[in-house]
């Protein structure tokens, strides 16, 4: 499905999107961890090499009580589209890098998440975009930070991060430098108004009126993806608008390699979502991989220790998605919910939102 078709989907009335979800989802809206037959059939395609994909759309104060059925259906539909886009790339023999780009592009176009269209507004009412990507085979990485959309912005920030990795000698570019570089690479720019949704404007306006620097009920709707391809290579990517009403040029963990994103074939690949300051201080993404490599922990053990012990003790809220070189998946979070989904090495699709779904918390 091309980007225009995806954009058309996300502009449909809620009732139509809800109907699409009911027709296409792999399970009912409150229990979405049943296998999808069509995806499972794809997994037995052209190779015996394992492939897998895991995504997130953010963690935070996400409860059934605060969620309307219509919004839940939209979120689950968007997660499914992202999974299907990334997994189609893997099934066709594509690289893990290409697969996470496909998945994240869908979520950057989906207004339900805090990335690309639907990203949060800073203190001045402007969307600023951060993204990073890392190749587990080479340890090459790229990132952009604080890219403004004031006069039109980068439609797909994750593509800009990849361009930094592949077409510059640098790892991170920020602000105007990131914008000019993206333009020089021929990346798509789109008008400022396209990025701003009514939901985010009202959220920002409420914080302005209450003179709040931090949202009292945060939804860290950062998006991310991690994949394993047929060549055995891992990749991870993360994209976000940061924190609502952020000030003073604030940059969170999402564009910082080792904090919000990390990938190494020798250990694991990770994409994080949460209160970025804590993820930066504790180098969360790298710490999980390091515990595997140097302490011999399993992926589940390492991810759980960092998210549910280190971060909790420090007062940091959020979660991660992670995968090792065998395709094992972990999705721990210490908040009430995390938008998440995966297609494992058996081709089974899982989509979940709340803390009591599946075994991911």
Q: At 315, phi and psi to the nearest 5?
A: 90, 15
239 part of a folded domain = yes
Say yes or no to pLDDT of 10 above 90: no
- Give the C-alpha distances (Å, rounded to integers) separating 249 from 15, 122, 259: 39, 9, 18
Exposed, middle or buried, 186 (CB in 10 Å: 0-12/13-18/19+)? exposed
How does pLDDT run across 171-198, given as a tens digit for each residue? Answer: 999 999 999 999 999 999 999 999 999 9
User: Does 361 reside within a domain?
Assistant: no
User: Over the stretch 75-117, which tens digit does the pLDDT of each residue have?
Assistant: 999 999 999 999 999 999 999 999 999 999 999 999 999 999 9
For residue 247, the tally of other CB atoms under 10 A from its CB is 10
Residue 77 resides in a domain? yes
Query: Taking residues 114-139, what's their average pLDDT?
Result: 96
Within a domain: 360: no
**Beta bridge mates, 227:** 53, 235
Within-domain flag for 25: yes
Tell me which residue of 334, 271, 280, 273 sits closest to 305, measured CA to CA.
334
For the segment 266-316, what is each residue's pLDDT rounded down to a tens digit?
Answer: 999 999 999 999 999 999 999 999 999 999 999 999 999 999 999 999 999
State the residue for tokens 């920020």: 174
The band of 47, judged by pLDDT with boundaries at 50, 70 and 90, is: low
Please determine, for residue 220, whether its predicted confidence score (pLDDT) is greater than 80.
Answer: no
Look at phi and psi of residue 228 and say left if phi exceeds 0, alpha if psi is from -120 to 50, else beta.
beta
For 291, other C-beta atoms within 10 Å of its C-beta total 21
Task: Let me know: does 56 contact 319? Beta carbons within 8 Å.
Answer: yes
Q: What integer pLDDT is reported at residue 32 of this predicted model?
A: 43
The secondary structure of residue 226, as a DSSP letter, is E
Residue 143 confidence class, pLDDT cut points 50, 70, 90: very high
The catalytically annotated residue of 149, 222, 238, 335 is 222
* Cβ atoms 251, 242 nearer than 8 A: yes
* 222 counts as catalytic: yes
Q: What is the CATH number of the domain that holds 175?
A: 3.60.20.30
CA angle 182, 225, 20 (to 5 degrees): 100
- Chain centroid, CA 142 distance in Å: 16
What SS3 class is residue 306?
helix
* 96 assigned to some structural domain: yes
**Total domains, the chain:** 1
| In the predicted structure, residue 166 carries a pLDDT above the cut 50 | yes
Range of the domain at 214: 3-354
Structure tokens at 73: 């259906």
Q: What are phi and psi of 201, to 5 degrees?
A: -65, -45
Residue with tokens 């390699």: 257
* Residue 359 covered by a domain: no
19 or 81, which is more confident: 81
Tell whether 111 is covered by a domain.
Answer: yes
H-assigned helices in the chain: 3-10, 14-24, 37-42, 69-91, 96-109, 157-167, 175-184, 192-195, 198-210, 276-281, 284-295, 299-305, 311-314
Round to whole Å and give the CA distance between 119 and 52. Answer: 27
Distance separating alpha carbons of residues 259 and 289, to the nearest angstrom: 11
């Amino acid at each position: 499905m091309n980007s225009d078709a995806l954009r058309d989907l996300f502009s449909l009335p809620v009732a139509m999107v809800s109907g699409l979800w009911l027709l296409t989802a792999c399970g009912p809206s409150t229990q979405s961890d049943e296998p999808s037959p069509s995806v499972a059939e794809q997994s037995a395609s052209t190779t015996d090499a394992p492939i897998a994909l895991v995504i997130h759309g953010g963690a935070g104060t996400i409860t059934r009580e605060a969620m309307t059925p219509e919004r839940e259906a939209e979120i689950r539909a968007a997660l499914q589209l992202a999974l299907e886009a990334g997994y189609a790339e893997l099934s066709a023999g594509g690289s893990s890098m290409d697969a996470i780009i496909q998945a994240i592009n869908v979520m950057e176009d989906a207004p339900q998440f805090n990335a690309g269209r639907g990203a949060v507004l800073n203190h001045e009412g402007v969307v600023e975009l951060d993204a990073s990507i890392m190749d587990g085979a080479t340890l090459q990485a790229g990132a952009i930070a604080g890219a403004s959309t004031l006069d039109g912005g980068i439609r797909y920030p994750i593509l800009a991060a990849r361009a930094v990795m592949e077409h510059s000698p640098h790892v991170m570019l920020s602000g105007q430098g990131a914008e000019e570089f993206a333009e020089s690479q021929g990346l798509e720019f789109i008008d400022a108004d396209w990025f701003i949704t009514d939901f985010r404007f009202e959220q920002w306006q409420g914080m302005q009126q209450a003179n709040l620097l931090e949202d009292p009920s945060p939804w860290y709707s950062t998006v991310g993806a991690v994949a394993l391809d047929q060549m055995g290579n891992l990749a991870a990517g993360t994209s976000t608008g940061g924190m609502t009403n952020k000030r003073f040029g604030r940059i969170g963990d999402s564009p910082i390699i080792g904090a919000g994103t990390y990938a190494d074939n020798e250990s694991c690949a990770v994409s994080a979502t949460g209160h970025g300051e804590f993820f930066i201080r504790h180098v969360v993404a790298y710490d999980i991989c390091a515990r595997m490599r140097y302490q011999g922990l399993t992926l589940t053990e390492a991810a759980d220790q960092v998210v549910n012990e280190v971060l909790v003790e420090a007062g940091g809220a959020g979660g991660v998605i992670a995968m090792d070189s065998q395709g094992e998946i972990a999705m721990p979070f210490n908040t009430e919910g995390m938008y998440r989904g995966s297609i494992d090495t058996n081709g089974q699709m899982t989509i979940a939102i709340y803390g009591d779904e599946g075994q991911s918390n």
